[in-house]
């Protein structure tokens, strides 16, 4: 069984992944600084589900703490590392851009250094579908160029992919980047649409529907995301022997480097997503039809062919099923 560092362990994806790794017998060190970007009580509640379980320990630390991260790696000697800690949110990146530089780039470099100097066997990190930016060639493929991000959040995730490739090339550190597509489900983030919509509808308040409802998203259920991460974590990347420097493939390399999309491979209109939520709640939504916000994109759609071919998995939870599970959790968590 592996000893795994999971950063962002009190977060939405991190807490669910940590639980799954513990289920399979791994030892998990969960790093999280419990920052107040959103409700800290929700983060503590997620963490409480993990604390006390055999094989789990929590470290409260910032990724920006260079000496602290270095000491943690030196002391723990991790087999594998999964980086899910980040300053999240496209819209917040318009207000506080330097927070994204500090955590998503400086903190990321500290993790790369920790892996480099401590013989970590596989470093897996969260990228994002937002890296596709101005690209409208759909479904989004990991083999497409992604040099036109539309927010600093997206740019920081693209930077992570570049930084990771450099370490794979220079130090032969096996690295895998995962581009997640609009993750939702129980224990989700309160700044995400599903949580905001549910809260407002139950309170009889209108919801803000951006781009006047003409958004399309590849909504991906949390259990599918976790399954994808677990499978990828067990598949250490190797150099692609057919990689051609005259026609470079962005998803692979002559270094031990790989990029995957993890998405549902299915576009859903935002209005259909809202309809599924209305049906689960049994309450019609009042809507404020809004313009598109800066930094947003009108559509996302994941090509997951590489994920299927390499690890034999494709997400397939329907939004009706996923939203129903979220609503059930929401009512229980908030005693509604």
Catalytic site positions: 153
DSSP-assigned letter for residue 302: B
- In this structure, the dihedral spanned by the alpha carbons of residues 193, 17, 42 and 29, taken in order and rounded to 10 degrees, is -140
Q: What are phi and psi of 284, to 5 degrees?
A: -75, 150
C-alpha span between 109 and 45 (Å, rounded): 29
C-alpha span between 25 and 328 (Å, rounded): 29
C-alpha span between 283 and 10 (Å, rounded): 31
**Do residues 315 and 262 lie in contact, with contact meaning Cβ atoms separated by under 8 Å?**
yes
For every residue of 215-263, DSSP letters joined together read: -EE--EEHHHHHHHHHHHHTS-----TT--TTS--TT--SSSEEEEEES
C-alpha span between 160 and 146 (Å, rounded): 13
C-alpha span between 151 and 171 (Å, rounded): 30
C-alpha span between 215 and 6 (Å, rounded): 32
């Amino acid at each position: 069984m592996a000893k795994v560092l999971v950063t962002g362990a009190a977060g939405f994806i991190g807490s669910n992944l940590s639980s799954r790794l513990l289920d399979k017998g791994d030892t998990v060190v969960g790093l999280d600084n419990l920052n107040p970007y959103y409700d800290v009580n929700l983060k503590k509640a997620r963490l409480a589900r993990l604390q006390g379980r055999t094989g789990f320990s929590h470290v409260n630390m910032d990724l920006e703490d260079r000496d602290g991260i270095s000491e943690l790696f030196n002391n723990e000697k991790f087999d594998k590392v999964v980086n899910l800690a980040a300053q999240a949110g496209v819209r917040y990146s318009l207000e506080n851009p330097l927070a994204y530089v500090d955590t998503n780039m400086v903190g990321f470099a500290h993790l790369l250094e920790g892996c480099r100097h401590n013989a970590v066997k596989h470093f897996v990190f969260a990228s994002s579908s937002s890296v596709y930016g101005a690209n409208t060639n759909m479904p989004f493929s990991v083999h497409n160029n992604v040099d036109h991000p539309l927010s600093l959040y997206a740019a920081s995730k693209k930077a992570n992919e570049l930084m990771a490739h450099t370490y794979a090339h220079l130090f032969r550190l096996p690295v895998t980047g995962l581009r997640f597509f609009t993750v939702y489900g129980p224990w989700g983030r309160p700044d995400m649409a599903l949580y905001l919509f549910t809260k407002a509808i139950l309170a009889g308040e209108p919801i803000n529907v951006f781009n006047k409802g003409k958004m399309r998203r590849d909504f991906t259920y949390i259990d599918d995301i976790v399954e994808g991460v677990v499978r990828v974590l067990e598949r250490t990347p190797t150099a692609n022997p057919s990689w051609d420097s005259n026609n470079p493939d962005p998803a692979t390399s002559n270094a031990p480097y790989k990029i995957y999309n993890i998405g549902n491979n299915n576009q859903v209109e935002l209005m259909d997503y809202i309809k599924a939520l209305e049906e689960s709640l049994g309450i019609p939504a009042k809507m404020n039809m809004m313009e598109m916000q800066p930094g947003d994109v009108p559509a996302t759609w994941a090509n997951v062919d590489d994920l299927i071919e390499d690890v034999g998995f494709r997400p397939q939870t329907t939004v009706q099923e996923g939203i129903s599970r979220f609503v059930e959790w929401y009512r229980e968590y908030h005693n509604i």
